[in-house]
Chains A and B, each alone.
Chain A
Amino acid sequence: MSSETVNIPFVRLAKRESMDPRKVWAIRIGSIVIAILLGMLPMFITGNNPFKAYQIIISGALGKPIYIKQTIKIAIPLLGCALAIAPCFKMRFWNIGAEGQITAGAIAASYFALNWYDKVPSFVLLAIMFIAATIAGGIWGLIPAFFKAKWNTNETLFTLMMNYIIIGIVSWLQGGPWEGRKGSQIIPMFNDSARLPVVFGIHCGWIIVLVLVILMHIYMNYTKHGYEIAVIGDSENTARYAGMNVGRIMMRTMFLSGGICGIIGFIVVTGANHTLYNGVANGVGFTSITVAWLSQLNAFAMILISIMLAILTKGSNTLQTKLKVPASISDIVIGILLFCMLSCEFFINYKLIFRPRKTEIKEASV
């Protein structure tokens, strides 16, 4: 064999300069389709017909108007929380503490709901709860950011540990100072004046979240803050040379992110649960990471993705009752979705160059 043929590898990589945006989205949508097909595997292995399973998931999530309402109720916090996470992830600040920031907001909102309901009119009470939740969530997000800015403390683990801490505090409130009936371990239901009004059959949290979508889109794309976040995400050093105060921007962004999570906490306790318990965030903080990443941090794409994941979550519960397939199938499919989405970026960014056929012929003749 000549040395010439040996030196040409079977496949080479080259960075793509640019790609047709339509093609980019085709690849992304293709990867979602592949993920849904791969998601059939666990159903198949456990002896169920995957097509029937997906059919049950869809009908369980969208089959009746009441199901649709429940699905949208699941999508609201997912969307809101993904919006909150987006600026952090854009900045390459790995905030996985959304769960805790939601809970912090929920605690603050619940405090006023439980203690002030007879002191002020309903809309004033809701406004106070809203503001309190924003500040509480913001502060809970600000703490890890402060240490990250000051000493470069690992924010991934810090934000995560903050989740366990605040959830533990709710458990304590539930069985201690805020307990309703002694021994019940339950915080009493909120008074009617501390509940969100219902619009079109669903609590008005959806309006708040949709407004947030527009605000976040503007913030990320058309403001100086959004620009600074993007620069830090690309290169922290560039941001420093350009004279940006990276630490301050981090703290500001995390306060904002935590604040939005706090609003979601407010929406969940006043709109959906009407009470506070230690599972108030219910994994939303994690699932919303998927929403944010699958939609490439695009605020409008998040609406679609959050509804898609809500369908999956709601439908999986139906699947569990109907086919006895554990509802955690939704987590598996979400995980596979993320894997596929992360992998497909490779094919967008790189070009595979296969060894030309000519050398193969040469090889064969040698």
Chain B
Amino acid sequence: MSALIALVVAAVTFGTVLMFGTLGEILTEKSGNLNLGVEGIMYMGGAFGLAGAFYYEKIVGEAASSGFVAIILAILAAFLAGAVASAIYGFITITLRANQNVTGLALTIFGTGIGQFTGEFMRVKEGGFVALSNHLKDAFSSTIFPDFLKNIPVIGKMLFSHNFFFYLALILALAMHFFFSRTKTGLYLRAVGESPSTADAAGINTTKYKYLATIIGGGISAIGGMVYIVTTAGCVWNHSGLSGVGWLAVALVIFCMWRPLNAIWGSVLFGALMIMYLRVRIIFIPTEIYKILPYVVTVIVLVISSMRNNKEKQPPASLGVNYFREER
């Protein structure tokens, strides 16, 4: 039982990373923009989020640093990095009308480069090692709930022992669900993604919606990269662990059928797949083969979701297609 609980807790920790990435990309794709740069965005979020927390601690000193402020700064730094990266993507695809696929790939190359560069540069500049104090590390990975809730057998660990970011992602998923289904702005955004020409004719400013959704969505995705660095990676820059996570997030968007609520359990499920090789041993299967499990599952998910041609579960109709008012 305790092994199962430990697995769930670890799955949720990794799932949080994926959840931010997925939620951000859902928001972007709802506006009809397919941003394939999530991988690069998450790298940038990771490097700049870590930089935010690290330099904050360096400036105010270890003793005076507050965990709460560090969390806020890390989130802000990551969000800004992601927002700037997606603003570049937005400018090139929305205003300059370039191909979304290639621009997204370019953003992946650019973003992984920037993330790597920043992470490495910080390491070299700070004498070979960038790490936060244990006090801040605890702040990043400990729960916000009081002990008595955490100490409830089984449920306490499963529900109340996760880090702050998980609950933030949870709230975000609920808020996005509410936004898409219950607010006028959310409905407008969906209209832009489904049929920009109709939305345009109805007087909706499609350019504004596309820009905002892309930039905010990119910022949210970037937070995921930061969460990976400050929780799973133990507050040091670790690019190898982050590689592929952004792409999984893009795949998860399809798996979740563009629904924020599905992203919650989808992310935790894939979080479990990602860390299972560390926790659950299966005899006859070598670790290296075990590690590719999430990718094999993703392929199977892609195939199954494409085979089932359900009218309800389709991507936004204009996804990946740029909208030019002049070209009808």
Spell out A's residues near B (CB within 8 Å).
13, 15, 42, 46, 89, 94, 96, 147, 151-154, 156-158, 160-162, 164-165, 168-169, 171-172, 174-176, 286-287, 289-290, 293, 324-326, 328-336, 338-339, 342-343, 345-346, 349-350
Contact = CB atoms under 8 A, between A and B. Distances in A.
Nearest to A320: B120
A346 B96 contact: yes
- Among B109, B296, B306, chain A packs the most CB atoms within 10 A around the CB of B109
Given A157-B250, A169-B292, A334 B109 contact: yes
11 contacts: A42-B114, A147-B302, A156-B36, A161-B251, A286-B105, A286-B108, A326-B120, A335-B110, A336-B110, A338-B102, A345-B98
Contact of A339 (B88, B116, B120, B124): B88
Interface in B216-275: 244, 247, 250-251, 254
Given A175-B288, A339-B106, A343-B92, A154 B306 contact: yes
Interface string B292-328: 1001101100110011000000000000000000110
A208 B111 CA distance: 33
Main secondary structure of the interface of B (DSSP, over half): helix
A158 B295 CA distance: 9
Contacts of B110: 331-332, 334-336, 338-339
Contacts of A350: 97
Contacts of B291: 168, 171
Contacts of A345: 96, 98
A161 B120 contact: no
Contact of A342 (B102, B111, B250, B251): B102
Ranked nearest first, the 6 interchain pairs of A and B with the lowest CB-CB distance are: A335-B110, A331-B113, A168-B292, A338-B106, A326-B120, A172-B288
Nearest to A96: B105
Contact of B307 (A151, A162, A165, A169): A151
A326 B298 contact: no
B286 interface: yes
Main secondary structure of the interface of A (DSSP, over half): helix
- Among B40, B102, B108, chain A packs the most CB atoms within 10 A around the CB of B102
A172 B286 contact: yes
Given A165-B295, A172-B288, A343-B96, A328 B113 contact: yes
A280 B45 CA distance: 28
A281 to B, nearest CB: 13
Contact of A153 (B109, B114, B286, B306): B306
Contacts of B292: 164-165, 168-169
B99 interface: yes
Contacts of A338: 102-103, 105-106, 109-110
B207 to A, nearest CB: 13
B113 A334 contact: yes
Nearest to B300: A161
A350 B95 CA distance: 12
Contact of A331 (B88, B102, B112): B112
A342 B96 CA distance: 8
Contacts of B40: 335
B129 interface: no
B113 A332 contact: yes
Contacts of A328: 112-114, 116-117, 120
Contacts of A15: 326-327
A342 B303 contact: no
B39 to A, nearest CB: 9
Nearest to A331: B113
B289 interface: yes
B80 to A, nearest CB: 16
A154 B102 contact: no
Contacts of B298: 157, 161
Given A335-B111, A338-B106, A329 B295 contact: no
A223 to B, nearest CB: 25
A174 B287 CA distance: 12
A326 B117 contact: yes
Contact of A335 (B106, B120, B299, B302): B106
Contacts of B66: none
Contacts of B307: 151
Contact of A326 (B121, B250, B302, B326): B121
Nearest to B114: A332
Nearest to A324: B124
A147 B306 contact: yes
